[in-house]
Structure formats: C-alpha cells, structure tokens
Structure 1
C-alpha cells in the first residue's frame, strides 16, 4: 500500500502549470520589441588623397584641400595655393563661413565633387565628423523652405602638412 501512495504523488508532480509563465511572455515580448533601439548605420566612403593629380592639357583642375589646424581652417587649391584662411573663434570653428565659401566655389565649379581633408595630429574625431558634414552638404533656402544642397560628397582624408610659422612671432 505504501508503494501506491508514492506512485500517485509522483504522477501528480509531473503536471506543471505554465499559464502564469505564458501570460508573462505575452506581455514581456511585445514590450521588449517596442522598447528596442533599432539603430541605422550610415557608411561614408572615404578615399586617400591622390599623390599625382590628373591635369587637363590647357589648365590645371581645381583640387580642393581643407587643412584643419588647431587654430584655423585653411581652404586651398593644391595647384593654386591658399584660397582663404578662417580663424578659429572662442566657440570653435566657423562652419557657417566655411559653408558660405564652399557654396561659392560650388557655384563656380558645379561639376567638382571631391575635396581632401587634411588634419593635424591633435584634431579630434568629432571635429573630423563636423568638417565632413560641412563639406558634404549645405542647408540653403529654396522657395521658402530649407533644403540640403550637395557640395563636395567625395571626401578624401589625410595628414596635414607642417604649418609654416611666420618670422614675426
């Protein structure tokens, strides 16, 4: 008789009620899906600066270079020299002045799509990203609305040449 009691209790303990667990999963799974962060990864293709630039037979092509120094930005043409130097202010680099200058260059050379960013060693990654955004797109007003105009989307990155210090210092 003792065996029968043991046998009956073992059969009863095998039944597990999972209703409470299923209720928890029904609530938890949608909640986790709703709160999950779906991030979008954007990839920007970069190129190395060309050692020798291809030039046309009658005139050299415009080869834009933006040298990012700790105290200023230097926009220039590899063949023609410095176009303009923009000093760094108390709030940081003057991206509005840079964007205006790049828009003027884009108006004169609409087929030009590439630019080279040359950075000094102590320039931060955040500054590089800001400059890449500034040279790729500009926000302009067209027909009363703010739109993004393409400037120079093909970006090459390299090291800046050593700065030439003036003798007056």
Structure 2
C-alpha cells in the first residue's frame, strides 16, 4: 500500500503571536513596577594633604582641634593631632569594635568643638572593609531630638582617610 504525501505547498501556516504579545504587555509593566533598583550612596572622602601652604595663626591653633580616629585590631584611639594627645581609647566589646562608645564620645566632643567638621580615619593595612565603613558612618552623623522628632545632624562630615602608624601598644604587649 502506498501512502500519498500531501504537498505543503497548498497550505500556509500563519504564526499567531497575539497571545505572546498580550503576555508581554502585562508582564513588562509588572516587572518594572516591582523591580528594586540598586541604590548607590557616594561619600566624599579626602586624602590628607602632604603639606599645607598657609600657616594658621596662633589664635586659630589654640581653639582648633585636628581630630584623628585610629582603627586598630583591638581598639579605637581618638587623638588630637595638634597636641598629639590621646583623647580616648575605646577598647573592643568582645570581638567587635565598640562603635557605640566611639560615637557617644564624638558627640560629646562635638559639643565642645561645634565648628569642627573634619576627622581623619587612620586604618591599619589589614583593617576589614566593613569596620572602616561602619566607622565612617559613626563619625559622620548623629541623631538629635528637635521638637520631639529625631533628626540626623552632621557630626564630622569631612572625612579624610589614611594609613595608621604601627600599633606600639600591641608591640609592647607582645614583648612583655
């Protein structure tokens, strides 16, 4: 028995994409409305200058605070660069840096020096990135109450970054 093959020349198949287009018309706006776009925040940082060409007057230096926060593995050190005085040493709380104690000290320091806006963060070479970023957030803003509402105010928004000197306390503790 011989089968006859129908020739496809006489029948044309039409591609129906209407259902697909209807799906895209509904799906694309739905996806665009529900999409979460990446939010990027940019923080302006400055590297410390090698030398300053303008010499400040003696009166300015008396009232001026050049604040440095040194980030070591086991503590924060808050230092005034002009007098080389260690203002505060904030030991770690457990395994983590005690950023709340640092923040509270800086808020108190801001009350004494309200015009100061600059801080220099000095980190060891092996400081974890998350510790550095958390410290930047701690020194930049603080919450205050105004008319019963909590608002954020600038603490030390001009952040300079640099490399911390070697940890002398750790070396002295390791030698003993």
**Aligning the two structures, in what range does the TM-score lie when normalised by the shorter sequence?**
0.7 to 0.9
Q: TM-score normalized by structure 2?
A: 0.82
Q: Alignment partner of 1:27: what SS?
A: helix
Aligned match of 1:8: 10
Work out the CA distance in 2 between the residues paired with 1:56 and 1:6: 94
How do residues 61-72 of structure 1 correspond to structure 2 at under 5 angstroms?
A: 61-72=64-75
Distance change >3 Å, CA 159–CA 91, structure 1 → 2: same
Partner of 2:77: 74
1:149 to 145, 153, 159: 153
Structure 1 alignment gaps of length 5 or more: none
Does the residue aligned with 1:100 lie in a helix, a strand or coil? Answer: helix
Residue correspondence of structure 1 range 8-157 to structure 2 within 5 A: 8-9=10-11, 12-13=12-13, 15-53=14-52, 55-59=55-59, 60=61, 61-81=64-84, 82-90=86-94, 92-157=96-161
Corresponding position of 2:164: 160
Number of residues paired by the alignment? 162
Name the SS of the counterpart of 1:8 in structure 2. coil
Structure 1 segments of 4 or more deviating over 6 A? none
SS in 2 for 1:98: helix
